[in-house]
Structure 1
Amino acid sequence: MDLGGRTVVVTGGTRGVGAGIARAFARAGADVVVCARRPPEVPVEGVGFASVDLRDPPAVRDFFDALPRVDVLVNNAGGSPYLPLAESDAERHARVIELNLIAPLTASLAAHRHLRRAKGAVVMIGSVSGTRPSPGTAAYGAAKAGLENLARSMAVEWAPDVRVNTLVVGMVRTERSHLHYGDEDAVAAVARTVPLGRLAEPYDVGEAAVFLASDAAAYISGASLLVHGGGERPAFLDAATANKES
């Protein structure tokens, strides 16, 4: 899929999934800019960087106003520490929602005039946490559920000029996987719970994002594309005894 001549902005694209998305668009020939508060520890080859606090609406507007064009916006910035609801205050949970839901809305609004002029596309990076219970990251899951709904509404309001879709991403192997799953043995055990037998790589998410932004997806808007390796095996199947060989 050739995206030569198009300008792509990836929020939070300095490491992990975001860096994989940026690399995928660069391979497709796009001019890519990633924006985050801090520069990448390892620069992504062929990708520009801009320092932007996505929770600062005036700064976000200034960033997009300074760009000559934007054809694709990938709202990737987000995340959450392990934070059980009753072990923190409402203000801290609100900051998680701000980063994962309000910041994508802020960036999308700031980029809207560019995207409308370019007949462009928005790709939201959602999560399976927004489609199922998310104990330990409940505010994050709620924000991702809201993000998916926001994308569907944007797809209707901004049609036919701008397409808006969501990637619903499952577990991904990144340089920070050990913080979520533990050592390599634990990561391997978690990977065995995925029907395809492995965690996603940032490359997998990047290629899916390129597809949704490309002309190959020209009639796809308001959709949610699952990138989760087949999902999660229902726990009851392993607990049930009926129909098992003795």
Structure 2
Amino acid sequence: MTVQPNGHLKGQVAIVTGAGSGIGRATAIALARAGARVLGVGRRAEALNETAARQPGIEPMPADITAGGVPQAVVEAATDRWGRLDVLVNNAGATAVMSLADTDADRIAGLLALNVTAPSLLAHAALPHLRAGRGTIINISSTYGHRPLPGAAHYAATKAAVEQLTRSWALELAGDGIRVNAVAPGPTESEALTAAGLPDTVVEQIKQDEAARIPLGRRGTPEEVATWIVHLADPAATWITGQVLTIDGGLELAP
């Protein structure tokens, strides 16, 4: 499933973090197909270049958004190049399988830095430009932002934080005409489990177990999630803010 080009985001400028793979890559491509100019941000230059090669209108920017000063530099890169910023998609994030018995302070700090602090600092840096154009922030949560996840509670907690940031910012910024929403994907085909350091056999077993629990019987695709991110980014979506849209094949409803 792909978003067909219709130009409804022509003239818009978007930043997408984590654009080198998965949902971030699919979102950058979908926004560009819809007419937006997209700054695709991520740690891996080669992966970002592959994203940019798939669709005109995407400019890659290799960067670690948890590093000091980088959120401001990312926003400046977009506004210096295109003169405005309309859409911030806070997609970059990490998954960590970590039971309470194995909890480690450094791993908790790393999760918070990437999943909570960096999106907050990006939104802070983007705020003047979003105010100027009555833009939008779209955060990427997870089904597990509002559903327990034994064995990975700290990951789930960071996504719960993202959902509360979304609701709180929506109220805080409504007077500026800035809409803030989130999408909460269920298990989606991506590199997240492998990036978490899990062996291939464990990753495959997790994927099978997840698919078995999802009422629609399968994991999602990045393109399916990107479609809804583009809908939320559309300036025509003028009356939706503070919402967390769960896209998970019905997993939220399952016991």
For 2:76 and 2:203, locate their aligned partners in 1 and report how far apart those are by CA, in whole Å.
42
- C-alpha distance in 1 between matches for 2:159 and 2:191: 22
Aligned to 2:190: 174
Match of 2:3?
none
Mapped contact 1:15–1:40 kept (Cα < 8 A)? no
Q: Alpha carbons of 1:15 and 1:61: their partners in 2 closer, same or farther (altered >3 Å)?
A: same
Aligned equivalents of 2:191, 2:113: Cα separation in 1: 25
Q: Deviations over 1:161-190 (max 9, x none)?
A: 21000101111022566758633x864553
Superposed CA RMSD: 2.1
Structure with the larger helix share: 2
Do the aligned residues in 1 keep the contact of 2:18 with 2:91 (CA within 8 Å)?
A: yes
Question: Do the aligned partners of 1:177 and 1:187 also contact (CA within 8 Å) in 2?
Answer: no
Q: Aligned partners of 2:155, 2:192: CA distance in 1, in Å?
A: 18
> Who is 1:38 aligned against?
44
Give runs of aligned pairs for residues 186-197 of structure 1, distance below 5 A: 187-188=207-208, 190-197=210-217
Unaligned runs of 5+ in 2: 1-5
1: CA distance, partners of 2:192 / 2:117: 24
Any idea what SS the aligned residue of 1:151 has? helix
Q: Give matches, 1:88-237, under 5 Å.
A: 88-160=103-175, 161-175=177-191, 182-183=203-204, 187-188=207-208, 190-232=210-252, 234-235=254-255
Amino acid at match of 1:192: A
Query: How has the CA–CA distance of structure 1 residues 57 and 157 changed in structure 2, closer, same or farther, with 3 Å as cutoff?
Result: farther
Q: Name which of 16, 40, 50 aligns with 2:61.
A: 50
Alpha-carbon distance change, 106 to 29 in structure 1, aligned in 2, over 3 angstroms: same
1:63: which partner in 2? 74
Q: Which amino acid aligns with 1:169?
A: P
Q: CA separation of 1:26/1:14 partners in 2, compared to 1, >3 Å: closer, same or farther?
A: same
5+ residue gaps, structure 1: 236-246
Change (3 A) 1:190 1:12: same
Query: Residues of 2 paired with 1:101 and 1:78: CA distance?
Result: 9
Q: What amino acid does structure 1 have at the position aligned with 2:102?
A: E
Determine which of 11, 19, 24 is the counterpart of 2:25: 19
The alpha-carbon distance between structure 1 residues 40 and 162, as it changes in their structure 2 partners (threshold 3 A), is: farther
Q: TM-score, normalised by structure 1?
A: 0.87
Q: Among the aligned pairs, what percent are the same residue? A: 37
Aligned equivalents of 1:63, 1:99: Cα separation in 2 = 15
Which amino acid letter does the alignment assign opposite residue 73 of structure 1?
A: L
Deviation per CA, 1:173-226, whole angstroms, max 9, x where unpaired?
22566758633x864553232122221100011000000111342100011111
Q: Which residue of 2 aligns with 1:74?
A: 89
Partner deviation per Cα, 1:67-111 (whole Å, 9 max, x = no partner): 221110000000123222321322321211111111110110011
Number of matched pairs: 234
Residue 82 of structure 1 aligns to a residue whose secondary structure is coil
Quote the residue 2:100 is aligned against: 85
